[in-house]
Amino acid sequence: MRGGEACVIPRVIPRSRREPHRRAHIDEAPALADNRAVTLSFRSLRWLTPPLLRVVVSPYYRYRHARALHAVRVGLAMLVSILVTTGINVPNGIWASVTVLVVIGGLQHHGNIRKKATDRALGTMLGALVGLLLIAQLHAIGSMPLTYVLMSVAAGICGYYAISSAGYIALLTAITICIVAGHGDSTIDTGLWRTLNVLIGIVIALAFSFALPLHATYSWRYLLARNLRDCARIRARITEGLPLDIEAHVAAFAALNTRLVKLRSLMPSVAKEVDIPLKRLEAIQRVHRSMLSALEMMSTSAAVHPLVTRNATDDAHAIRASLLQMARALRFGSESRAGQRLDRPVARLGGQGARASGGTPDTDLPGPRWVAQWFAEQAEALRALLSDTESQWHIEGDAAARAQMRRPD
């Protein structure tokens, strides 16, 4: 060694002392692998949870996947009815499952539930009572022909009321009579067990009816928003001199009219859910229908009478902006970041489309311009109606959530 340098001798660890550490690492390997697997599974669950929560919580996702959610609801209700009747060993438990299908199978919108729940309970009680009375009279009198006649009379009475406003009650009454009494030859014990099964099915069906229901108000809003977006698109094409060809015209207005008919069927449920007078919804429907009629005439005559003047173009852009404003408010809610306030008109219409006295378009305008102005007037009337009823159909979230998402003024 050279002077001043120290000799460093590496420390050698005996093999016997290294073996325990190696064995410890080998023993810990399966545990580490299990921990990694658990971590990966939790990461997968975290990755899958947001989409599932969006489907379950978001009104729009529930609207888009309404059939799938309803299928899951009916399937789970059927499973619960089977488990309950089998678990407590109830005789004739199949009738609980039949009742579940009858009650919940066609029920979807939340607006139907409140009225249907009362109708179900009343129809079931009436049917069970009549069925037990039929069984009792058979055991007292012993005449099967008389029992058949009485059952036919009861079915006829239910059929008479089935085509009236109490049709659902009458239908469930007749079905429950057949479940409880059969053809009149059931025993009292069998009738009582079947009555219990029907009541079990009613309770299960009611419980699942209120599980993640699809509000008719959301369906009504989304369908109307879709129509308004399509109207804005067609109106923009007319303004740009690119009218729809015949096939596209027929397909577009067939879709618009189909959604218009669906909106009509949703109106009674919407009125029950948010307490909007049915006459107000009728007014919105009438103005919407008038808009579609005017737009169809404009689309048909666009190739013959194009709107090329500056004022008409400015008005068309304002109308399109107003339609999109209404669509966003209906789709997202006006208090969300994506929505827009309906109480603030986008622009005031003017130019050659100015309103004449009496609230109608100027009769001196050419036919296509008159129709265009009538469309603009109806769009503004629809905006006013939606603005007046906004506090009722805007049902998202609680006040705190809305305050956090409120658009800055």
Q: Do the domain assignments include residue 25?
A: no
pLDDT at 22: 47
Q: Are residues 204 and 223 in the same domain?
A: no
Instruction: Compute CA distances 218 → 144, 203, 272, 367, 393, whole Å.
Output: 53, 27, 13, 37, 8
Split at pLDDT 50, 70, 90, the class of 290 is very high
Q: Find the DSSP H helices in 302-366.
A: 310-332
For 157-191, how does the pLDDT look when each residue is reduced to its tens digit (9 = 90+)?
Answer: 999 988 887 888 888 899 888 888 887 777 778 87
Number of domains in the chain: 2
The proportion of the chain whose per-residue pLDDT surpasses 70, expressed as a percent, equals 68
Q: Two tokens at 134? A: 């039929």
Segment 324-333, tens digit of pLDDT: 989 988 888 7
Q: Which two tokens stand for residue 45?
A: 């669950």
Task: Choose between 314 and 65: higher pLDDT.
Answer: 65
Query: Which residues, 6+ apart, have CB-to-CB distance to 40 below 8 Å?
Result: none
Distance separating alpha carbons of residues 386 and 76, to the nearest angstrom: 38
Let me know whether 205 and 221 are in one domain. no
Are 267 and 368 within one domain?
yes
User: Is residue 76 one of the residues assigned to a domain?
Assistant: yes
In a domain, 321, yes or no: yes
- Which domain covers residue 83, as residue numbers? 64-209
Q: Give pLDDT, residue 341.
A: 58
pLDDT at 8: 46
289 within domain boundaries: yes
Q: Among the three residues 140, 175, 209, which one is the final residue of a domain in this structure?
A: 209
Residues 177, 182, 185, 189, CA torsion sign: negative
Per-residue pLDDT tens over the stretch 37-81: 434 443 443 444 455 555 566 777 777 777 888 888 889 989 999
Looking at the domain assignment, is residue 41 inside a domain? no
Same-domain check for residues 287 and 390: yes
- Per the CB < 8 A criterion, the answer to whether 385 and 284 are in contact is yes
Does 248 share its domain with 201? Answer: no
Q: Which tokens belong to 242?
A: 């690119």
Whether 274 and 392 share a structural domain: yes
Strand partners, 355: 361
What integer pLDDT is reported at residue 31 of this predicted model? 44
DSSP string, 21-60: HHHHHHHHHHHHHHHHHHHHHHHHHHHHHHHHHHHHH-HH
The single residue listed with the structure tokens 């009496």 is 358
222 with 359, same domain: the answer is: yes
Query: Among 225-229, 294-298, 364-368, where is mean pLDDT lowest?
Result: 364-368
Is there a domain that residue 381 lies in?
yes
Across all residues in the chain, what is the average pLDDT?
A: 75
Our measurement of the distance from residue 354's CA atom to the centroid of its chain's CA atoms, rounded to an integer in Å, reads: 40
- Same domain (yes/no): 261, 350: yes
Q: Are 108 and 195 part of one and the same domain?
A: yes
Name the more confident of 309 and 148.
148
Q: Of the candidates 162, 186, 209, which is a domain's last residue?
A: 209
pLDDT of residue 385: 92
Higher pLDDT, 221 or 23: 221
**Looking at the structure, do residues 280 and 394 belong to the same domain, yes or no?**
yes
Q: Is the pLDDT of residue 147 over 50?
A: yes
d(CA 207, CA 215): 16
Residue 317: the pLDDT is 84
- Does 229 share its domain with 304? yes
Same domain flag for 259 and 381: yes
Q: Please tell me the pTM assigned to this model.
A: 0.66
In a domain, 38, yes or no: no
The yes-or-no verdict on residue 284 having pLDDT over 90 is yes
Residue 20 belongs to some domain of the structure = no
Among residues 184, 209, 234, which one ends one of the domains? 209
The answer to whether 389 and 280 are in contact (CB under 8 A) is yes
